Amino acid sequence: MAMMTMIDVLERKDWENPVVSNWNRLPMHTPMDFLEKQSLNGLWNFDHFSRISDVPKNWLELTESKTETIVPSNWQIEFKDKSDVPIYTNVTYPIPIKPPYVPEANPVGAYSRYFDITKEWLESGHVHFTFEGVGSAFHFWLNGEYGGYSEDSRLPAEFDITNLAKEGENCLKVLVFRWSKGTYFEDQDMWRMSGIFRSVNLQWLPDNYLLDFSIKTDLDEDLDFANVKLQAYAKNMDDACLEFKLYDDEQLIGECHGFDSEIGVVNPKLWSDEIPYLYRLELTLMDRSGAVFHKETKKIGIRKIAIEKGQLKINGKTLLVRGVNKHEFTPEHGYVVS
């Protein structure tokens, strides 16, 4: 796929293909706090096109753009184009209802920027891109080579670009489509705007790192004992071990080892909507000698949620839920809210 031309990629019309939600995107996982991170937020080159067919066939080779934009932002806010404006609708779709198809007049934001990667980042480990939020779909290229595609605009899209990156200056190009088949799924009572509206980050990861982990807390009927269960996955698990520690403030209350393990907590302090008490979880991925590959710290709560005779209960008490349904935006910056 890396050898395909831009025209080949666009002619696939992935944004209308019901069996394609991404190309090359890594599996979703719990958020990680990687220490080696570089923000790509800031000023990007930008061009706006009214439809996909207007994108120049040699766009990947072009080094200049008509204008610049800030990332993250929404282009309908940054640029006052009467043919491509913010749309508010609450009971109807903003496009004709012909799923999975979208209008031919599908506005495109063409983004590009240059950034540097150090020699040290490429000598070992992995280099990833994470697009935290892009609406509603996008393709990207790095150094002229195809990188990938993603929808699901409110979820992060992470890509391993180790084989595309080079030491020194790199060129990233992104085509963002206003409409995609995802538009039908993301039908909400809100303002419809497009663009790279959340952060873009570059991360370095070691050869061994945590891929994903989940925590489940099981409370007994008397609410006086809890099992905190961990299930984790790592890159090259056979060459690593995992240490799992649980703290109450600064006090260590339990520790164990293994990718599938649990810690018992006597008389736990329970999380509730009135007192949202949190414990601190530490995960350390290391080799057999104790050298650390990757470390994560998370806050977790212990609670018991159940439905009894039609009543929603938390820790045995009836819970009254006051629902909140809002989509934050500002007139000055669209979806980007400080």
Reported as a pLDDT band with limits 50, 70 and 90, residue 228 is very high
Reported as a pLDDT band with limits 50, 70 and 90, residue 53 is very high
pLDDT at 49: 96
Whether pLDDT at 2 is above 70: no
β-strands 311-314, 126-131: how paired? unpaired
> ∠ CA 104-134-169 to the nearest 5 degrees?
105
Reported as a pLDDT band with limits 50, 70 and 90, residue 1 is low
197-216 b/e with 16+ CB inside 10 Å = b?
A: bbbbbbbbbbebbbbebebe
Using CA atoms, how far apart are residues 40 and 70, in angstroms rounded to an integer? 11
Q: Which long-range contacts (CB under 8 A, 24 or more apart) does 122-126 make?
A: 122/162, 122/165, 122/166, 122/167, 124/206, 124/207, 125/162, 125/204, 125/205, 125/206, 125/207, 126/160, 126/162, 126/204, 126/205, 126/206, 126/207, 126/209, 126/235
Is the CB of residue 152 less than 8 Å from the CB of residue 198?
A: no
Please list, in sequence order, all residues whose beta carbon lies within 8 angstroms of the beta carbon of residue 146, skipping any fewer than 6 positions away: 1, 2, 4, 6, 9, 139
Mean pLDDT of 219-240: 96
What residues form DSSP beta bridges with 239?
none
Q: Which residue has the tokens 């990947």?
A: 60
Reported as a pLDDT band with limits 50, 70 and 90, residue 35 is confident
Please list, in sequence order, all residues whose beta carbon lies within 8 angstroms of the beta carbon of residue 67, skipping any fewer than 6 positions away: 45, 46, 47, 79
**Structural domains of the chain sorted by starting position, each given as residue range(s) with its CATH number in brackets:** 6-205 (2.60.120.260), 210-318 (2.60.40.10)
- Bigger pLDDT: 34 or 152? 152
Is pTM beyond 0.85 here? yes
Cβ neighbourhood burial of 291 (10 Å; 0-12, 13-18, 19+): exposed
β-strands 241-248, 251-257: how paired? antiparallel
Reported as a pLDDT band with limits 50, 70 and 90, residue 102 is very high
Using CA atoms, how far apart are residues 210 and 215, in angstroms rounded to an integer? 14
Using CA atoms, how far apart are residues 261 and 231, in angstroms rounded to an integer? 7
Using CA atoms, how far apart are residues 42 and 142, in angstroms rounded to an integer? 18
Whether pLDDT at 47 is above 90: yes
Lowest-confidence segment of 173-182, 184-193, 228-237 by average pLDDT:
184-193
Is the CB of residue 132 less than 8 Å from the CB of residue 195?
A: no
